[in-house]
Amino acid sequence: MRGHLRRLVRRIRRHWPQTRITIRGDAHYGRPEVMEWCDENGVDFVFGLSGNGVLDRLVDETADDIRTRRALDQQPCLRGFTETRYRAKSWSKERRACARIEATTKGLDIRFVVTSIETGSAEHIYETLYCARGQAENLIKLHKAQLASDRTSCRSPLANQMRLILHTAAYWLMLTVRDVIPKAHALAAAEFATLRLRLLKLGARVIERASRVRLAFAVACPDATLIRHIAAALMPTGP
């Protein structure tokens, strides 16, 4: 893991040497050697941290307060945040640990992250910095599951690389189409499978002329207005 991050950061700093880099990842990344490498190379990090009895005791006072207030107010869910200093046996030093504590009718759920960032509240570290990785994971899932980019079954690595290039081109095409959809529209945040079904898998009459190609859709096409908007938005501007 450390070697992978070292190569990645080296490539980034080759183009942006003055950029401050923050790495975020789940608990799989939160290894002692990775955190120490980040400290030595001026890289910030926010990693998931597996809970244990020691961490639970360190945040027990806040957790008990949140659990009690939820029960007294009879709320279905109440969330709070706190932070503490923690050092695992394999760590070289004490580090900042932030906790998201959520009390529901089913019980208490506590999630921890460890970070090198000393500024900002525990809520900001968890909600804004750490949880934002979820959107990146969603985009990777769209690339893999809904554009079938995991189909690299050719015996030749060059053929598999070409497949990935074509899948990535399809990804950028779908992402570009979605980005021009008005934000108020229901499809503005739709997944690629939904966009394919609603906007691409349509019957139409194609009329090809010398200077243009005309597409004639059915009169009852439910997304005709949106399709016209997308076509106009993606039309290249003249010189």
pLDDT at 77 over 60: yes
Beta partners for residue 81, in sequence order = 100
pLDDT band at 238 (very low <50, low <70, confident <90, very high): low
Q: What is the pLDDT of residue 214?
A: 86
pLDDT at 122 over 70: yes
3-state secondary structure the chain: CHHHHHHHHHHHHHHCCCCCCEEEECCCCCCHHHHHHHHHCCCEEEEEECCCHHHHHHCHHHHHHHHHHHHHHCCCEEEEEEEEEECCCCCCCCEEEEEEEEEECCEEEEEEEEECCCCCCHHHHHHHHHCCHHHHHHHHHHHHHHCCCCCCCCCCHHHHHHHHHHHHHHHHHHHHHHHCCCCCCHHHHCCHHHHHHHHHCCCEEEEECCCCEEEEECCCCCCHHHHHHHHHHHCCCCC
Query: For residues 126 and 138, which has the higher predicted lDDT (pLDDT)?
Result: 126
* Averaged pLDDT score across all residues of the chain: 89
> 186-226, pLDDT tens digit by residue?
899 888 889 989 988 888 899 998 888 888 888 888 888 89
Q: Domain map of the chain by residue range?
A: 2-131, 138-234
Average pLDDT of the segment spanning 116-129: 91
pLDDT at 239 over 60: no
pLDDT at 62 over 90: yes
pLDDT band at 59 (very low <50, low <70, confident <90, very high): very high
Token pair 């900002």 is found at: 120
pLDDT band at 26 (very low <50, low <70, confident <90, very high): confident
Average pLDDT of the segment spanning 151-160: 86
This prediction's pTM: 0.65
Average pLDDT of the segment spanning 5-22: 90
- Tell me the C-alpha distance between 47 and 31, whole Å: 9
